[in-house]
Structure 1
Amino acid sequence: MEEIQWTILEENKNERIDKFLTAQNGEWSRSQVQQWIKDGQVQVNGKATKSNYKMQVEDQVTLSIPEPEELDVIAEDIPLDVVYEDADVIVVNKPRGMVVHPAPGHYTGTLVNALLYHCKDLSGINGVIRPGIVHRIDKDTSGLLMVAKNDHAHESLVSQLKAKTTKRHYKAIVHGVIPHQHGTIEAPIGRDKKDRQSMTVTEDNSRDAVTHFTVLECFKDFTYVQCELETGRTHQIRVHMKYIGYPLAGDPKYGPKKKTLEIEGQALHAATLGFTHPRTGEELEFSAPIPEDMEHLLHYLRKK
């Protein structure tokens, strides 16, 4: 069992303890935190507490995280668009609408379920829920993902991501007409205090985030861009483009409330992926064309 402790500062005085804990880790949902509190795994000054407890300065908060239950993830015969595969690595082109790995509400139909059917040998470093998964893209983002088939490959690919040596280019359609050809967005990203399911540019509990972008084509009210990730924060491109005033078309979380273009989810595609092969040292680079729905949008905007 993992134990984590915090000493409450003035800035968190009178904040509900469940809200505070949810903000500490992007993987923890509010309902999960409340369940931990209900089960007595959260203590304040050595005593059990309630979800609505309002913390005070110098409170000692302790969270004891139980060992995760091992779930039996089922292999499912779901078609996969495999771009590359060898004994160490598999690169897939994920369709829009597919969740990467099982999570509450999505225990079947995920990329992991499909991978387990396609190949029996996946890295075990991330456990049974995320075998082989070294990075993710959102459910409604399409495009390229690299997956490790053994632990050596997994460690190598994760190291490359941390060292920022991988190549990850995305293509997106955003609201507004960007007036310059290139730009770099350097703004820290953290959990949104007003909406714990969203990320935002903030100095509170944030991590450095850098996105480079290039304008590919301009339309009357939209711009087609290529974004290059230097870091890989949750929802990074979606948050950064909103931050500079050009939110992604179709984005239900960070875009305009009113639907403007016919697309299910954000118009975002992981188009290029490059990395060093973990065993041979060869530099590999793969590309995947944008999906039909984005192609149709571009055709529509060009005629508009």
Structure 2
Amino acid sequence: MNKRNSHTPKNTAEPKQYTVKEPEELLRFLLNTLSNLGRNSVKAILSRGQVAVNGKVETRYNCQLHPGQIVTIRREKIVEAPPLIGLKILHEDDDVIVVQKEAGLLSISSGKGIENELTAYRQLMEHVRQANSNNRIFIVHRLDRDTSGVMMFAKSEKIQQALQNSWKDSVHERVYVALVEGAVKKAEGTISSWLKESATLKMYSSRHPGDGQHAVTHYKVITADRHFSLLEVRLETGRKNQIRVHMQDIGHPIVGDKKYGSKTKPIGRMGLHARVLSFAHPTTGKLMRFETDIPKSFYQPFRSTPAK
């Protein structure tokens, strides 16, 4: 029979039902089920209340599904979210978004009257507003435009303040990799100084102990030749331009960092990447750890000569 269900609106897709076959979190189930859609679109469907589990609307990404449950999806409002440029979302929940930023993308606008400047902040603001126009994000820390790697944003002012106020205790690891000029002779070391900012907004190490903000950087050589060294760098403190200043201080500026003494640009960008960010979740207290690969280009200068 071709009789239309009188309760179904015209031009509206029928809700579809799926039976859960194995234990799985809801977001992962939806990504597998709606494999023709992008991750942001699937999240938007979930956030807009278009998903029900056993007849009850569910919006939590991490809702645990069990075999035999019925997931119902209404798809009449699906709008594909704009793609993120120079950004990849590593984790998102109700409180934070953790992303991997590419070199060349600003974390947040420089505030010099460029309203439509492409930034990580602006793109993520648009991303969260796909689900609800009242949603917002808040900056927690920044990466320089030419630094790539892991960074985190808060989804409320309360979470932003909680993270910033307890940053030293909340953050367990901040690990970078730095490609620097010259052969760093010590296999590992620690750099300690007091950082100040000049009138031209350039950071520098003061010659007088106690004069400025104390900064401590630990480094370890990953590989090196007589022209370049690749270092693992761990921050004990997180001061503005800290790694860039400290690498210049020991006579091995980061490649491509003309502002802090570099004379070479072998990889076409600044050789600094935020590889690891580990922190205690501001709400659950759970330890979260995000690690990214060292950019392949960082190994490029060593291919013509054997690494030590």
**TM-score with structure 1 setting the length:** 0.65
Q: Which whole-Å CA distance do the structure 1 matches of 2:164 and 2:256 have between them?
A: 31
1:284 and 2:293 are equivalent in the alignment? no
Structure 2 equivalent of residue 259 of structure 1: 264
Structure 2 equivalent of residue 114 of structure 1: 123
Which of 271, 274, 279 pairs up with 2:275? 271
Change (3 A) 1:139 1:298: farther
- After superposition, the C-alpha distances for 1:210-244 in whole angstroms (9 at most, x for unaligned) are 11111111112211101111111111100011011
Which stretches in structure 1 are left out of the alignment for 5+ residues? 1-74, 122-127
Change (3 A) 1:182 1:292: closer
Which stretches in structure 2 are left out of the alignment for 5+ residues? 1-80, 131-135
In the TM superposition, what are the counterparts of 1:11-22 in structure 2 within 5 Å?
none
In the TM superposition, what are the counterparts of 1:57-76 in structure 2 within 5 Å?
none
Structure 2 equivalent of residue 222 of structure 1: 228
Contact 1:164/1:230 (<8 A) preserved: no
- After superposition, the C-alpha distances for 1:8-51 in whole angstroms (9 at most, x for unaligned) are xxxxxxxxxxxxxxxxxxxxxxxxxxxxxxxxxxxxxxxxxxxx
In the TM superposition, what are the counterparts of 1:161-240 in structure 2 within 5 Å?
161-163=167-169, 165-192=171-198, 196-202=200-206, 203=208, 206-240=212-246
Q: Which whole-Å CA distance do the structure 2 matches of 1:86 and 1:220 have between them?
A: 46
Which of 239, 244, 252 pairs up with 1:246? 252
Q: Which whole-Å CA distance do the structure 1 matches of 2:306 and 2:93 have between them?
A: 40
| Bigger radius of gyration among the two | 2
Partner of 2:166, secondary structure, is helix
Q: Which whole-Å CA distance do the structure 1 matches of 2:176 and 2:271 have between them?
A: 10
Contact 1:177/1:222 (<8 A) preserved: yes
- The number of aligned residues is 219
Partner of 1:209, secondary structure, is strand
Partner of 1:146, secondary structure, is strand
One-letter identity of the residue aligned with 2:141: H
Question: Post-superposition shift, 1:161?
Answer: 1.8
Q: Which whole-Å CA distance do the structure 1 matches of 2:256 and 2:289 have between them?
A: 28
Which of 128, 143, 149 pairs up with 1:143? 149
Name the Cα RMSD after superposition.
2.6
Change (3 A) 1:286 1:180: same
Question: Post-superposition shift, 1:160?
Answer: 3.2
Contact 1:78/1:109 (<8 A) preserved: no
Contact 2:102/2:148 (<8 A) preserved: yes
Partner of 2:258, secondary structure, is coil
Q: Which whole-Å CA distance do the structure 2 matches of 1:205 and 1:169 have between them?
A: 26
Q: Which whole-Å CA distance do the structure 2 matches of 1:166 and 1:247 have between them?
A: 26
Partner of 1:156, secondary structure, is helix
Structure 2 equivalent of residue 67 of structure 1: none
Question: Post-superposition shift, 1:82?
Answer: 0.6
Structure 1 equivalent of residue 104 of structure 2: 97
Structure 1 equivalent of residue 91 of structure 2: 84
**TM-score with structure 2 setting the length:** 0.65
Q: Which whole-Å CA distance do the structure 1 matches of 2:186 and 2:307 have between them?
A: 23
Identity %: 35
